[in-house]
Structure 1
Amino acid sequence: MKKNSLWFSGIKTVQTAVATTGILLLTAVGTAQAQKLTGAGSTFDNPIFTKWFSEYSAAHPGVEINYQSIGSGGGIKQVTAGLVDFGATDGPMTDEQLAASKIKLIHIPAVLGAVVPIFNVPGVNDLKFAPDVLADIFLGKISNWDDARIAKDNPGAKLPNLSISVVHRAEGSGTTFIFSDYLSKVSKDWENGPGRGSALNWPKGIGGKGNDGVAGYIRQLPGSIGYVELIYALQNHIAYGEVRNAAGHWVKASIAGVTAAAASVKQMPADYRVSITNAPGADAYPISSFSWLLIPTQGQDAAKRKVLKDFLNWMLIGGEKEVSSLYYAPLPDSLIAREHQTVDNLK
C-alpha cells in the first residue's frame, strides 16, 4: 500500500512538473509574441491603417500597433529620429532627407489614392476645374466664384458672386505634396512660386490640421475650397470636382481612375519612389499617388522586426483586398510580388 502511495505521489509530482513546465512554455511563447509597434505619419492613409492594424492585432493576440495620424511631415521627422518603429508618407522622402536620417529607411508602397478638390458653394453641387484654373484659385489670381474662367467650364452652374476662401493643410503633409506636385506640373506660375513640397509658403488661405481638419473647414465655410484624400470627401458628404486630365478629359476621382494613373508607370524605380500625378491616359485621374510605409532597415530588435515583416506580408496578401471598401485603389499584382521580395530581404 505504501509502495502504491509512493508511486501515485511520484506520478502526481511528475504531472505537476509537466503542467508547470507547460505553463512556463506557454507564458514564454506569449511573451515572445507580445509586441507593441508604434508608427506615425500620413492622415491620407489613416482610414485604411485603422482597419488594418485593428484586424491584424485581433488575428495576432499580444500584438499591438499604435499609429499617430499626424501628417506625413511629422511621420518623417519621428521615424528618421528613431522615435517610432515605422512612418507613413504620401510624398516620397527626398534624397537629402534620406541622407540626413539617422535611421536607414526604405519605402514600401501601401496603397494608391486620390486627392480631390472639395468645395462649399451654396446651390452648386458639381463643378469642373481646369488645371490652370485650379492653380490660379490657390494662387489667389481667381478670387470669386463667378469668375469668367470658372464659368466657362461650368456653363450650367449658377455660380454666386461670392469670394473664394482657400483652405490648405496647416502642417507638413503628404496630401499637400501630392496636390502641389500636380499643380507644379500643370502651372509654371505655381512651379515658380509655391512649388512642390509637403509644407509650402501659401499665397493665401487658412490652414486645417489633417485631412479631417480641412474637411471640417470646408463644411463650415460657404465659398471655401480645399483638397483632401477622396474618402474624407465621401465620409463628410462634401462636394468634390472633376479635373481635366492630361488627355483633355474631365475625370472625377474613382478607384478606376487611380488605377489607370498607376498603369502609366512602365518601370518602377528600385526604391519605389515615383510620381503619378498628371499621368497620361484617357481615364487617368490626374491627382493620384502612391502612399508609402517608411520601414527601418536597421536598429530594431529581432522580435519586433519579425512582427513588422509579418505585418507587411499580411498587408500585401490580405490587406490589399480591403482597400477598395475605403475608396483606395489596390496595388498592381506585379508590384505586390516585388514588394514581397523586398520585405523578405529585410534582415
Structure 2
Amino acid sequence: MMNVSRFRMIACFALCCSMFGSALVAQMAPVDHSTRRIYVEPFVTKEGSEKFREDVIAELRKLNSVSLAGDESSADVILGGGGEVWIKGYRSHNPQLGKVAPNGTPIYTGFLSIELRDRNGQTLWSYLATPPAASGDILKDLSTLIAKKLADALRQGDAPSRTTPLPQPTTTLKGAGATFPFPVYQKWFTSYRRENPALDITYEPIGSAAGVRSLLANSVDFGASDSPEVIHELSPGDDEKYLFFPSVVGAVVPVVNLPGLSGDIAFTPEALAGIYQGKITKWNDPILTRANRGLRLPDLNIVVVHRADGSGTSYAWTDYLSKTSSEWKTQVGASLAPKWPIGREASGNDGVSKLVKEQNGAIGYVEFIYALQNHLSYGRVRNRDGEFVAASLESIAAAVSHSVKLSGDFKVSIVDSPGAGVYPISSFTWIVVPTHIADDAKRNALTGFLHWMAGPAQRQAAALGYLPIPKDVAVKEEAAIAKIH
C-alpha cells in the first residue's frame, strides 16, 4: 500500500474554480439515464494516481448501468475529481500506554470531490467523500464508495429539464455578503458566465452584515446571509422590501488546534457554551473529559476565537448556543454580531480558520468546508437525541428532513433540529434580493440566475461540501421568483 500520509489528490475539474471538501455524501440531483458511457479522467496526484484510477475503473466495471470509454472523445460523460487524503494521527493498539506511536492504527481524514459532467462541461452529478476512520486499502475503499454513490444516482431517474435563460444584454450584477457559501458561489458565477457570456456577476465575501448593509444602501444588487433575521436585525420594518432565496445548506463546525490528539473531540452544548462564556478555560476540564472518555485531552489553555465582523455564521453558532443554554440565551443571545464575553477576533471564515491553525489550544467555528480546506480538526456535537454527530452532508440532510417546513418566505432556522443522525448546527444560506428592481436588464438577469441556481446549479453543490436544497423547496423557490417586479 502507498504511504497515505503523502497521498495528495490535486486533480482539476473542467468547470471548477477551486476544490474544497467535506464529508462522505452523494449529491441528490439525479443523472440522465441516457448518460452511460463514462470516461474516467487521470487523477493528478503526487503518487498513487494511477492505482486510484484503476480502482475506480474496476469498481465501475461491476455496474450494469454503465460502460467505460477508452478515451474522452468516445464518452457520453466524464468522471473526474480532486482533493486530499492524509493521516491525522494513530490510534494506539494499547490505550493504557498513553503515548500513541506511529505503528498504531492510522486515522484517516481528508476529502475527495467528484463530478460527473457531460461533453459540454455541464455538471450532471457531484459527490464528496471522506475516508473511513480505519482502512486496509484507503484508495480501494474510496473507489468502492464513489462507484456505489454513482450507481445510486443513476437509479434515481432522469434529471428534470430546465430551460437555459436567454442571453441578456451586457449586464453586471454586484453582490456581497456571507463567506459561508463563498466557495460554491464562486463556482456558480463562473459556470453561469460560460452559459451567459453577456452577464458578469461579481461577489465580495465581506460577511452577512456588511453585505446586507450594502444592499440596504443600494450599492449592490443582491446580498447573501446565513441568518434569516438579517434584514429584521439591521433594518427593522423593511422585511417586506426584500426576498430570501435559499441557495444551499451547510454546517458550522467547532474547529480545534490540539496537536497530538488521537481522535475527534466531542462537545456537549454545555461545554461549548461554557468555553465561549469563559467558564471552561482548560482542555482537560471535567466537563470535556466526561464527554471524551478514552481520549487524552491535554492540560492546555483554551484560546477562544470568534468572528470580528457581523456574520451569519456567528448567527447560526449563537442560535445553537441560545437554543441549548438558557444562560447563554439570557446573557448573550443569537445575533450576527453578539457581545462576546471572551475571545480573540478574526474576520471571515478564512480569518477564523487561519487564527485557529496558528494558535495551539485554539477553538473557533467555521463553515464545514473551511475546516477541511485548512486541515483543521472539527469536533462532533451532541444533538437533541443525545448523539455526538460529526458534520457531513448526510447529517446535514438529516437536519433538513427533520426540521419544520419552510414558510412562504423561506425563513427558518434548522439549528438544533430533532431526529436521529442530525448534525445540530446546520443552516440554510440565502440570497437576498429587493422585491422591486427598477432596472429591467438587471431584474431579468437576476431572475434568470435565480432560476438557474434553483435548478442545474444544485448539481455542483455536493462536490464543494454543501447539501443541495430539497426539491420541493426548489420548486417553491422558482415560483417565488415571480414576486420580483
**TM-score over 0.5 (shorter chain):** yes
Which ranges in structure 2 are unaligned for 5 or more consecutive residues? 1-165
What does 1:76-225 align with in structure 2 at a 5 Å threshold? 76-92=212-228, 93-95=230-232, 97=234, 99-101=236-238, 104-124=241-261, 125-225=263-363
> Aligned partners of 2:346, 2:333: CA distance in 1, in Å?
20
1:62 corresponding residue in structure 2: 198
In the alignment, does 2:409 pair up with 1:271? yes
| Contact 1:98–1:104 (CA under 8 A) maintained in structure 2 | no
What does 1:283-322 align with in structure 2 at a 5 Å threshold? 283-322=421-460
> Aligned partners of 1:90, 1:333: CA distance in 2, in Å?
20
Larger radius of gyration: 1
Shift of 1:98: 5.2
1:15 corresponding residue in structure 2: none
| Contact 1:88–1:293 (CA under 8 A) maintained in structure 2 | yes
What does 1:227-266 align with in structure 2 at a 5 Å threshold? 227-266=365-404
Question: In structure 2, the residue corresponding to 1:263 is in which secondary structure?
Answer: helix
| Contact 1:79–1:103 (CA under 8 A) maintained in structure 2 | no
Question: In structure 1, the residue corresponding to 2:186 is in which secondary structure?
Answer: helix
Stretch deviating more after TM superposition (158-167 or 222-231):
158-167
Shift of 1:160: 1.3
Query: Which residue, 331, 340, 345 being the options, matches 2:478?
Result: 340
Task: Return the letter of the residue paired with 2:220.
Answer: V
Task: Return the letter of the residue paired with 1:229.
Answer: E
Identical positions, percent: 42
Change (3 A) 1:266 1:165: closer
> Aligned partners of 2:292, 2:175: CA distance in 1, in Å?
43
| Contact 1:113–1:230 (CA under 8 A) maintained in structure 2 | yes
Task: Return the letter of the residue paired with 2:170.
Answer: A
| Contact 1:251–1:285 (CA under 8 A) maintained in structure 2 | yes
| Contact 1:218–1:226 (CA under 8 A) maintained in structure 2 | yes
Task: Return the letter of the residue paired with 2:476.
Answer: R
> Aligned partners of 1:76, 1:58: CA distance in 2, in Å?
27
Task: Return the letter of the residue paired with 1:293.
Answer: I
CA offset digits 1:55-107 (Å, max 9, x no partner): 10121112110000000011110111111000000011254645444992111
Shift of 1:182: 0.3
Question: Which has the larger share of strand?
Answer: 2
Question: In structure 2, the residue corresponding to 1:144 is in which secondary structure?
Answer: coil
CA offset digits 1:101-151 (Å, max 9, x no partner): 499211111110000000001211410001111110111110001111111
Question: In structure 1, the residue corresponding to 2:414 is in which secondary structure?
Answer: coil
| Contact 1:89–1:293 (CA under 8 A) maintained in structure 2 | yes
Task: Return the letter of the residue paired with 1:198.
Answer: L
> Aligned partners of 1:332, 1:324: CA distance in 2, in Å?
13
Question: In structure 1, the residue corresponding to 2:461 is in which secondary structure?
Answer: helix
2:67 corresponding residue in structure 1: none
Question: In structure 2, the residue corresponding to 1:38 is in which secondary structure?
Answer: strand
Task: Return the letter of the residue paired with 2:188.
Answer: W
Question: Which has the larger share of helix?
Answer: 1
> Aligned partners of 2:268, 2:334: CA distance in 1, in Å?
19
Q: What is the aligned length?
A: 318
Task: Report the TM-score, using the length of structure 1 for normalisation.
Answer: 0.89
In the alignment, does 2:417 pair up with 1:282? no
Query: Which residue, 436, 459, 463 being the options, matches 1:325?
Result: 463
Task: Report the TM-score, using the length of structure 2 for normalisation.
Answer: 0.64
Which ranges in structure 1 are unaligned for 5 or more consecutive residues? 1-28
Question: In structure 2, the residue corresponding to 1:192 is in which secondary structure?
Answer: helix
Task: Return the letter of the residue paired with 1:118.
Answer: V
CA offset digits 1:281-326 (Å, max 9, x no partner): 0111100011011011113300111010000011111111111111
CA offset digits 1:256-303 (Å, max 9, x no partner): 111111112343211111011110001111000110110111133001
> Aligned partners of 1:160, 1:336: CA distance in 2, in Å?
46
> Aligned partners of 1:153, 1:103: CA distance in 2, in Å?
45
> Aligned partners of 2:265, 2:219: CA distance in 1, in Å?
43
Moved over 6 A (4+): none
> Aligned partners of 2:224, 2:418: CA distance in 1, in Å?
27
Q: What's the C-alpha RMSD, in Å, of the aligned pairs?
A: 1.6
